[in-house]
């Protein structure tokens, strides 16, 4: 019996060294009752404020794919049928616009063009410049959801391995009902612009157009308000 237990422990340690994100996502030390129930705290007043901002942003009507838009408002600023750069998707512009409304700086125009901005934002969050602007990395989706509920601005982002391919980014929605099992299966809830704009979408669906993103390629960053 001792040999079996030791063997199992060694296998578990090897797995966690090789796949730390997978081990963190399992949260095996959390009782099953907590996993089945809401995991990430009640919504603070600040969390409610962020949720209200997202709900009133009209993301499903603005920042639409295929149109050239004003990054701050999401309104089209070129005629229908306009073909040119910065017309594909606008996930990064939406995040930058919402952050500005909350008084938070995210890499944005004119410091960087809208083209391939999500890749640049993801790299910037983890840089010295991002840290100096108040951003810090969050280790797990559960922590990301907890911080969003507590009233931090939290983003989930992916930097494409090919610098000529678009990445993706969205805002973690405060949600006091999300459970650990749901987060493990489908990720956090997000609000995003993209191929399809969603007021509320699971992380799994949000990153579906980006191979290698969810779950192990997504990174989380937070900013205090």
Class of domain 37-223: alpha beta
Which pLDDT does position 36 carry in this prediction?
A: 57
Distance CA 114, CA 89 (A): 9
Which pLDDT does position 24 carry in this prediction?
A: 44
Q: Average pLDDT across each block of 10 residues of the chain; the chain has 225 residues. List them in order.
A: 40 41 42 62 97 98 97 96 93 98 98 96 98 97 98 98 95 96 96 97 96 95 97
Q: Which long-range contacts (CB under 8 A, 24 or more apart) does 158-165 make?
A: 158/118, 158/122, 158/207, 158/210, 158/212, 158/213, 158/214, 158/217, 158/218, 158/219, 159/118, 159/119, 159/122, 159/123, 159/219, 160/119, 160/210, 161/212, 163/116, 163/119, 164/116
Which pLDDT does position 35 carry in this prediction?
A: 52
Rounded to 10°, the helix 91-101/45-55 angle is: 130
Which pLDDT does position 31 carry in this prediction?
A: 44
What is this structure's pTM? 0.84
Q: Where are the domains of the chain?
A: 1-30, 37-223
């Amino acid at each position: 019996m001792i040999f079996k237990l030791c063997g199992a422990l060694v296998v578990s340690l090897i797995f966690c060294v090789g796949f730390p994100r997978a081990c963190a996502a399992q949260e095996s030390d959390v009782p099953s009752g907590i996993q089945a129930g809401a995991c990430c705290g009640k919504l603070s007043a600040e969390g409610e404020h962020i949720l209200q901002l997202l709900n009133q942003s009209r993301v499903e009507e603005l920042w639409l794919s295929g149109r050239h838009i004003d990054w701050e408002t999401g309104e089209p600023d070129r005629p229908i049928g306009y073909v040119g750069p910065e017309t594909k998707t606008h996930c990064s512009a939406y995040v930058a616009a919402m952050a500005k409304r909350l008084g938070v700086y995210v890499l944005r125009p004119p410091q960087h063009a809208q083209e391939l901005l999500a890749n640049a934002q993801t790299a910037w969050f983890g840089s010295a410049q991002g840290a100096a602007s108040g951003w810090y990395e969050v280790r797990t989706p559960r922590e990301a959801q907890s911080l969003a509920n507590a009233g931090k601005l939290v983003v989930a982002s992916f930097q494409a391995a090919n610098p000529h391919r678009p990445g993706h980014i969205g805002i973690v929605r405060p949600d006091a009902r999300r459970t650990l099992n749901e987060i493990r299966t489908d990720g956090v809830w997000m609000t995003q612009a993209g191929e399809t704009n969603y007021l509320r979408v699971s992380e799994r669906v949000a990153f579906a157009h980006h191979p290698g993103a969810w779950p192990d390629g997504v990174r989380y960053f937070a900013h205090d308000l």
